[in-house]
Amino acid sequence: MNVRTLCLAILYFGDATGYEIKKMSVEGRYAHFVDASFGSIYPALAKLEADGCLTVREEPQPGKPARKIYSITEAGRQQFIEALHEPPGPDVFRSAFLMVSMCADLLPRERVAQAVDERLADLSAEIEHLKQVAETTESAGVAWSVRYGITCLTASRDYLAATREDLEAIAVDPAGEPPGDTVAAE
């Protein structure tokens, strides 16, 4: 999924400015597709408008640059539906935490514990966020997706909370050998 399609997706469900699209792609319920920056969104919107997929309406604001509110056109809707029909690539999960847990035996216990705390906090925050989305959405598809997300994230959080002791026990003893020495003895 590229920024172009993301813009189409967001605008399918309502008008928005580039600034709002950025926010939604980072914090909102569109956060699991591509996290686009201004440097990619503004050019994408301009291109989309030139292609006839969007229309703009400018709303002047005293002292600020005018808000450029984009609306999707029929051509834009069609392009999005087409994109939805394309075979989706496999889901991608990239985790720096996983690298820490795989290498727990190379790290001091406190470092591993810290990584677990952070991951647990991230997980809880995301679950809370999804619960808020669940309360505000009217779309059945979004509601199903949110329940799915909450289920997966909760399973992850619960397992991590229940087994963190096992993971932390793998880490090197802070009083024992300094990190690296155990394996470095080749």
Partner DNA sequence: TAGGCCATGTAACCGGTTACATGATTAG
Partner DNA sequence: CTAATCATGTAACCGGTTACATGGCCTA
Q: Which does 81 bind (CB under 5 to 8 A by kind): DNA, a copy of itself, none?
A: a copy of itself
With beta carbons less than 8 A apart as the criterion, state whether 7 and 48 touch.
yes
Q: Which does 92 bind (CB under 5 to 8 A by kind): DNA, a copy of itself, none?
A: a copy of itself
Out of 28, 67, 77, 156, which residue is the one contacting DNA (CB under 7 A)?
67
If the CB atoms of residues 56 and 113 are measured against DNA, the closer one turns out to be 56
Smallest separation (angstroms) from DNA to the CB of 174:
32
Q: Which does 138 bind (CB under 5 to 8 A by kind): DNA, a copy of itself, none?
A: none
C-alpha span between 131 and 150 (Å, rounded): 8
Out of 13, 15, 28, 34, which residue is the one contacting DNA (CB under 7 A)?
34
If the CB atoms of residues 1 and 127 are measured against a copy of itself, the closer one turns out to be 1
Phi and psi, residue 20, nearest 5°: -65, -40
Q: Exposed, middle or buried: residue 44 (CB in 10 Å: 0-12, 13-18, 19+)?
A: buried
Around 64, how many Cα atoms within 13 Å sit in the side-chain half-sphere? Answer: 8
- At 55, list the tokens: 């229309």
Question: What is the greatest pairwise CA distance in the chain?
Answer: 69
C-alpha span between 54 and 76 (Å, rounded): 6
The verdict on 9 binding a copy of itself (CB under 8 A) reads: yes
Residues that bind a copy of itself (CB under 8 A): 1, 9, 12, 29, 32-34, 74, 77-78, 81, 84-85, 87-107, 111, 115, 118-119, 122, 139-142, 144-145, 147-149, 151-152, 155-156, 159-160, 163, 166-167, 170, 179-180, 183-184
